[in-house]
A and B are shown apart, each in its own frame.
Chain A
C-alpha cells in the first residue's frame, strides 16, 4: 500500500515580475509505514513540497494521492483524518492564548461529530501518550519548554489518529538533549500506531537516524533518491556528496571539510539552464551547462546527473 504518491507535482510563486519555481516536476512515493526523509538547503522547495502533500497549497499541475485517494477529491475534514503536520517552531504553531487541552482537542472539535466526554477522554490519552502529565492540560504554551511544546504539537497531530504525519524540521529549534527525546518519541509513535512520515530536515545526521529512504532536493527538483543506507554509503550526485561532507560529526581532529560548493548561491527565480546545479558543481563539464540531466533509474531510486 502506498501512503503518499506524488506524480509530476509543480508549484510556482509569482514574486513581482519574477516567477519562482519552488517545486519542479517532483515525483515520489512513500510506502505505508515508511519514513521518507527530504533534505536540501533553505529555499530548495522542501517546505513547499510538504505543504502540497498536506493540501495546504494547491499544486499548479501534477497529482498527489494520500492513502490511495486523490488529494483533490478529499474535503478538509477527510484530509485532516488522514494526514497531519508537525512544524518546526512550536511557539509559532501553537495558539498562545489557548490551553494545552484545547489546542489538542481542536482537530476533534473541528470534525464536529465527537461528544464532549469523548473529546476529553481522547485528549487525556493523547497527552499521556506523548509523555505529558495530566496537569499539563491546563497550561498555556508560554508556560512550557520547547520540548514540551513540540510534544503538544505532536499530540495535536495524532489526536485524530491520522495515517500520515508530515514533520517539517520538527527538532531544528530544539537543544540536542531535547531533540533526542522528540526523535525517540516520534520513532516510538510510528511503530505503535503504524504511521508513515514525510520527514523534512536540513540535518542529515537526524535524517539518517529516522528515515528509511532519503530524497535530496535542489532548486525544486529531486536530484537523488535512495534507501538511506545506500545514499549515505554511496552517494552519486555531487550535491548529495557535498551535503554529506558538510555534516560535522563529533569526531575531534578531522577539522572542517572543504565542501567545494563556492560562493554563488542558487536563485530559485533564476534557474540555470542544463543541470541546475552546474554553477556550484565541483566536477561540472561543459555539457552540464547545456544538457538537462535525465533521471537515471537505480534499483531502488534514481539520480539526475549526467556524470553519475
Chain B
C-alpha cells in the first residue's frame, strides 16, 4: 500500500539548535503510527513540519515530505491552506488554548467546512451536530451554542476531534491529545479515536510520551531521541524486543502495577536529554548510555532487526 504520509530525512533547525535531525517515517492509510519520546525530542516539531505550521525562524529541509504522493515542500502557502484542516487535520494537546474562547463551538466547527467545501451554514451546522454526536457528546444542538469555557476538558477535546473530522481528513495528526485529561476520560477519548480511525480508515499519527498509550493503540512505533528516530518497529515487536538502549531504558522507567516491588527502585535513565546543534556527530544518547564507547562519537549505522524493525546504534543487530 502506498503511504499516506512520507517523511524522509527531515531536518528542522532553530538558529543553532537542531530540533529534528534526519527523521524518517511513513504513515499508511488505516494505520496508527505512534511517535514517542521525551519533551524536547522533536516529536511536535516533526508534526508541525508536516502541517507547515513552524514558527518563522525555523528552517525545514527534507529529502522527501509528501502527502498522498504530493510534494509538500513544493506546495505554496495557499496550496497548504487547501490541505490543512481538510485532507489532513491536527488535534493539539490543550483544547482550551486551541479553541477560540470568543466564538461558540458551532461557529468554530462550521467555519472549516464553509471554507474548504463551500458548504451552506445550514449543511455545516447539521454536519457539526452529527459529528458531535459521533464523538459521544449528548445534546449536540445545545453544545453548538456554547462557548469553550462552558465545557469540561474531556468535552473540549471531543469538540477538537469532531472539528478535525469536519472535512473527512485522510490523515489525522494528534499531538498528546489526552495528556491534559483524567485517566478515565483519557481511556474514553482513545477508544473514540481508535473507533473513528477504524471506521473511517484514517491514517493517524499519534504523538505521545506515554508508553501505555503506545502499547494499546499503535500499529507501529517510532522512538525519537534528540531529533532522531532511534528505533522504529511494529508495536508488539518493539515492546517484546527493544533494541536501542534508550528504548530499553524508557520501558524500564514505567511503573507497571504488580510488576515491580515497592522497595525496589524503578529503572531510571540518568541525566537529561542533551541539546544538540546541526553539526553534532555520533549518538546523542551516548552520555546516558551504559553501552557507550569511543565508536559512539562517530557516525552510527542503522541496523535492521527484521524487515520492519530498524534502530540506530553501534551495537549490531
Seen from chain A, the residues whose Cβ lies within 8 Å of a Cβ on chain B are 41-42, 145-148, 175-181, 183-184, 187-188, 202-206, 208-210, 212, 228, 232, 242-259, 261, 263, 265
In angstroms, how far is the closest chain B Cβ from the Cβ of A95?
A: 22
- Judge whether A232 and B266 touch: CB under 8 Å: no
**8 A Cβ contacts from B211-265 to A:** 211-218, 235-236, 239-240, 249-258, 260, 262-263, 265
Q: Which of B73-81, B168-176, B180-188 contacts A (4 or more CB under 8 A)?
A: B180-188
Given A180-B267, A246-B187, A252 contacting B216 (CB threshold 8 A): yes
- Judge whether A176 and B187 touch: CB under 8 Å: no
Q: Which residues of A contact B213 (CB under 8 A)?
A: 248
- Judge whether B257 and A205 touch: CB under 8 Å: yes
A257→B63 CA distance, assembly (Å): 40
In angstroms, how far is the closest chain B Cβ from the Cβ of A183?
A: 6
Query: 14 A-B contacts, Cβ less than 8 Å apart?
Result: A177-B38, A179-B253, A181-B268, A181-B269, A184-B266, A205-B256, A205-B257, A208-B257, A248-B190, A250-B251, A251-B215, A251-B239, A254-B216, A259-B187
A29→B251 CA distance, assembly (Å): 35
Q: Which residues of A contact B185 (CB under 8 A)?
A: 41
CB-CB nearest in chain B for A254: B216
Query: Is B137 on the interface with A (CB-CB < 8 A)?
Result: yes
In angstroms, how far is the closest chain A Cβ from the Cβ of B229?
A: 18
CB-CB nearest in chain B for A173: B39
Given A208-B257, A256-B187, A263 contacting B137 (CB threshold 8 A): yes
Q: Which residues of B contact A178 (CB under 8 A)?
A: 38, 272
A205→B272 CA distance, assembly (Å): 23
Q: Which residues of A contact B268 (CB under 8 A)?
A: 177, 180-181, 184
Q: Which residues of B contact A249 (CB under 8 A)?
A: 212, 215, 256-257
**Most chain B Cβ neighbours within 10 Å, of A183, A204, A250:** A250
- Judge whether A256 and B215 touch: CB under 8 Å: no
In angstroms, how far is the closest chain A Cβ from the Cβ of B267?
A: 6
Query: Is B17 on the interface with A (CB-CB < 8 A)?
Result: no
CB-CB nearest in chain B for A187: B265
- Judge whether A250 and B188 touch: CB under 8 Å: no
Given A181-B270, A256-B217, A250 contacting B262 (CB threshold 8 A): no
- Judge whether A41 and B38 touch: CB under 8 Å: no
CB-CB nearest in chain A for B37: A175
A252→B262 CA distance, assembly (Å): 24
Q: Which residues of A contact B253 (CB under 8 A)?
A: 176-177, 179-180
Query: Is B22 on the interface with A (CB-CB < 8 A)?
Result: no
- Judge whether B183 and A203 touch: CB under 8 Å: yes
Q: Which residues of B contact A246 (CB under 8 A)?
A: 183-184, 186-187
**Most chain A Cβ neighbours within 10 Å, of B183, B191, B209:** B183
- Judge whether B236 and A183 touch: CB under 8 Å: no
CB-CB nearest in chain B for A177: B269
Q: Which residues of B contact A261 (CB under 8 A)?
A: 184, 188
Q: Which residues of A contact B249 (CB under 8 A)?
A: 177
Looking at the complex, which one of A42, A247, A257 makes contact with B257 (CB distance below 8 Å)? A247
Q: Which residues of A contact B239 (CB under 8 A)?
A: 250-252
Query: Is B94 on the interface with A (CB-CB < 8 A)?
Result: no
